[in-house]
Amino acid sequence: MALKLSMPQLLRTNYNVTAIGQPSLTGDVITLENDGDMPEWTKIKLPEGTMGNTGYKSPTATGDDYSGWDNPTNAYISNDTDAEAGNNQDQDYYNFDFTIPEGRTITGIRVSIEGSGGFETGTGWDFQIKLSWDGGASTTSAKSDTFNNLYDEGDTIKTLGDAEDTWGRTWSIDELSNTNFRVQVFGDGFEEGLIDHIQAKIYYTV
């Protein structure tokens, strides 16, 4: 991506700055590497309407309303040590610690799940994802997918939702807090799933 912005340098000169590659975005401040004519690091405020995101965040808590899996905390990080979801067993995850600047409009939510369909030959592990904005009391409609790969075939990553998919509702920033936001995972069938990592990412306009 090439991003060209005009900014006033803090001393007295205006510079045209071009970033080649992926710039570093935190909130609504972009950090560009020195191009030889700038101070070593320069921070530029992005124009309104620019898309930002939180980056993928992992949960640090589980089992508030649903706690049917074995070793569910193993899904906090990707390390090939799995949470085990049995037949029709459900689990929820929360405390993603999203940081979203005030006044932003939420445009999409993406959930990423890394895992496999278990040990036995079969049709794979079918699952559904729902999101909650009020601590689990209410949820979005479900999105579904299947892990067709078995344990000895290695993990795959399934993503549900995207930058322009709000899961059928309008979100406030407060609804994405640790208190309110939940990712609920529902086993849907008679096979087992092995889940290595669960993450979520929030997209918003600056």
Does residue 4 register a pLDDT over 50? Answer: no
Residue 149 — left, alpha, or beta (φ > 0 → left; ψ -120 to 50 → alpha)?
beta
pLDDT tens track for 85-96: 977 789 999 999
Does residue 121 register a pLDDT over 70? Answer: no
> Cβ-count burial of 139 within 10 angstroms (0-12 exposed, 13-18 middle, 19+ buried)?
middle
Residues 69, 63: Cα–Cα separation, whole Å:
9
Q: Are strands 156-160 and 83-85 parallel, antiparallel or unpaired?
A: unpaired
Of the pLDDT bands very low, low, confident and very high (cuts 50, 70, 90), residue 42 is low
Of the pLDDT bands very low, low, confident and very high (cuts 50, 70, 90), residue 9 is very low
Give Cα separations from 43 to 6, 19, 89, 103, 153 (angstroms). Answer: 12, 12, 47, 20, 45
CATH architecture of the domain with range 53-205: Sandwich (2.60)
* Cβ atoms of residues 185 and 91 within 8 Å: yes
User: What is the residue extent of each domain of the chain?
Assistant: 2-47, 53-205
Tokens found for residue 101:
């600047």
Tally of CA atoms within 13 A in the half-sphere of 33 that contains its CB: 5
Provide mean pLDDT across the span 17-43.
50
pTM, full prediction = 0.78
One-letter amino acid at 192 equals: E
Select from 122, 94, 108 the least CA-distant residue to 167: 108
Residues 167, 107: Cα–Cα separation, whole Å:
10
Residues 60, 147: Cα–Cα separation, whole Å:
24
Provide the mean pLDDT of the chain.
82
pLDDT tens track for 167-195: 999 999 999 999 999 999 998 766 789 99
Q: Tell me, what's the pLDDT at 109?
A: 98
Tokens found for residue 187:
């086993």
Of the pLDDT bands very low, low, confident and very high (cuts 50, 70, 90), residue 125 is confident
Q: Tell me, what's the pLDDT at 13?
A: 38
* Cβ atoms of residues 126 and 187 within 8 Å: yes
